[in-house]
Amino acid sequence: MVIGANAADMTEVATRLAAVCDMIEGHRKSGTAICVRRATAICAMINDVAAAAAEGRPTTTGSGDGRKRPRMESACSYEEVDELGVGLSGFVVRARHRATGEDVALKSLHREGCGVGGGIGRLLREACFMAAFRGHPFLVALRGVVRVPGVATDGDDDDDYSLVMDYVGPSLLDVLRARGRPFTEPNVRVAMRQLLAGAEAMHRHRIVHRDIKSENILVAVGSGAVSVRICDFGSAKSTAERSPPGQIPGTMEYMAPEVLVRNADHGVPADAWSLGCVMAELLTRELPFRGEDMADQLREIFDVLGVPDERAWEAMRPRVLAGKAVARAEAARVGHGNRLRELIPEEVLSDDGFEVLKGLLTCDPEKRMTAAAALRCAWFADMVEDACVCVSASSAVSMIDATGKRGHLLGVR
């Protein structure tokens, strides 16, 4: 279990989610394939997670009390419309429910490279994380898990499962590129409030996204309103898992310092850093730190924020790169303080907004502002609920149309 996952502050959702993740990890470690019956049972447990999140009390379908478990829905209920994106690990298509005519997004993984039980295990992990905040307005919603019929009930048919998710819209990165200029502070304030609210919901249940970036934020337009939603939970972990994934995923330009130094025990503060990078990106159309490799990325960070003191280094618990990055940073600039305000001047961001940005982009993970704390800042005080995020609905629709089939509608790597 990751340091900090104390039982005293564990939610019911976090407890149930960790149990599902531990079960899936047990299959992976033992090399045992997840058969259809077991996958259906895990899906029932995932429904319990969703019920606990929505109502504060679980259902009994996955409790092992002998009751009949629900059948997994068939993928034949959906008709593929078009391809949305293809990545190294999987692909996403837009599909239409044959009975209701409603559009959804279906995410599947390539069978190659998944290993025994790997593909369905990874999909079920992602489904479980999404179930923990089903119905949240700023997080992409899970509809369920479907299976292609006609495959053997035993064995490892990983490629025959898909996640059914809300069909949303293009990525924030696509809209930012189509816009051709940075967003104004009022627009960024609304977008950040929504993103921080989504992150706070994840973090409350001990979920760390680990790959928040503008490409993994979708722009939704509906009923004349525009909103943003965090998507792609394929890299997520629970800090309550007994054996969380050992690999450290993410996108270098959005990685927190403790992630760059390969601290595998990093937690929710890593997401807060990524949100700070997104905030700066929206304000300038440029990422605040862009190195050539991980050591150079650390140097870029330290050149702007200053080299961390000994206490901050201890909080990051570096495994690699630390000495090399410090040497590069000190060779480039010695003894300077935080220069973040030079990158984001007052004419771009007010002092109240800068308080949030600086708090999120703090090297020491123990002192970094949390999503919940950021939402309490003066920047968001007395803020009137604004249905329009980033741009007017009509402008957003135009930008969405201009992006065409971008391939980023739901993140795949």
Q: Which residues are catalytic?
A: 211
Closest CA to 40 of 75, 76, 72: 72
Q: Is 391 helix (H, G, I), strand (E, B) or coil?
A: coil
Length of the chain: 413
The DSSP letter of residue 205 is T
Closest CA to 188 of 22, 293, 14, 344: 344
Integer CA distances (angstroms), 358 to 150, 184, 279, in order: 54, 18, 11
Question: Which residue is it, tokens 């309490």?
Answer: 376
Integer CA distances (angstroms), 85 to 76, 401, 406, in order: 21, 16, 8
Closest CA to 22 of 140, 69, 52, 5: 5
Distance CA 385, CA 350 (A): 20
Distance CA 49, CA 59 (A): 9
Closest CA to 264 of 245, 282, 277: 245
User: CB-side exposure of 252: number of CA atoms within 13 Å?
Assistant: 12
- For the chain, the distance separating the N- and C-terminal CA atoms, rounded to the nearest angstrom, is 27
29 labeled part of a ligand binding site: no
Distance CA 158, CA 147 (A): 10
Radius of gyration of the chain, Cα coordinates, nearest whole angstrom: 21
Distance CA 316, CA 256 (A): 10
Closest CA to 42 of 67, 65, 77, 17: 17
Which structure tokens are listed for 173?
A: 């990165």
Which structure tokens are listed for 85?
A: 């994106």
103 forms beta bridges with: 96
Contact 12, 52 (CB under 8 A): yes
Q: Which residues are annotated as a binding site for ATP?
A: 107
